Amino acid sequence: MNCPKCGKEMEKGWINSAREVVYTRKLKKWFIEASKIGDISLTTHNMTCPRCEAYVCRDCHWVIVPYEDENQ
């Protein structure tokens, strides 16, 4: 995958976490889970070892995380 900012090849890897990683539109102060409309769980294997595939551009400091739409 190429970086959308500079066009260079991005490095493929993983984001690992102790808890589910969730995209939300609003900043939350407490532990959240992807249950609200519009929230997206970016990780899989959330009960054992939350992780998701990611691509990094070390020049631009961008990380891209593809995710699966659970509603499809």
pLDDT-derived band at 7 (thresholds 50, 70, 90) equals very high
In this predicted model, what pLDDT tens digit does every residue of 13-66 receive, in sequence order?
999 999 889 888 888 777 666 776 788 889 999 889 999 999 999 999 999 999
State which amino acid sits at residue 6.
C
Q: Which residue type, as a one-letter code, is found at position 45?
A: H
The model's pTM is 0.80
Strand partners for 56: 11, 63
Beta strands in the chain (DSSP E): 11-16, 22-23, 40-41, 51-57, 62-64
Backbone phi, psi, residue 41, to 5°: -80, 120
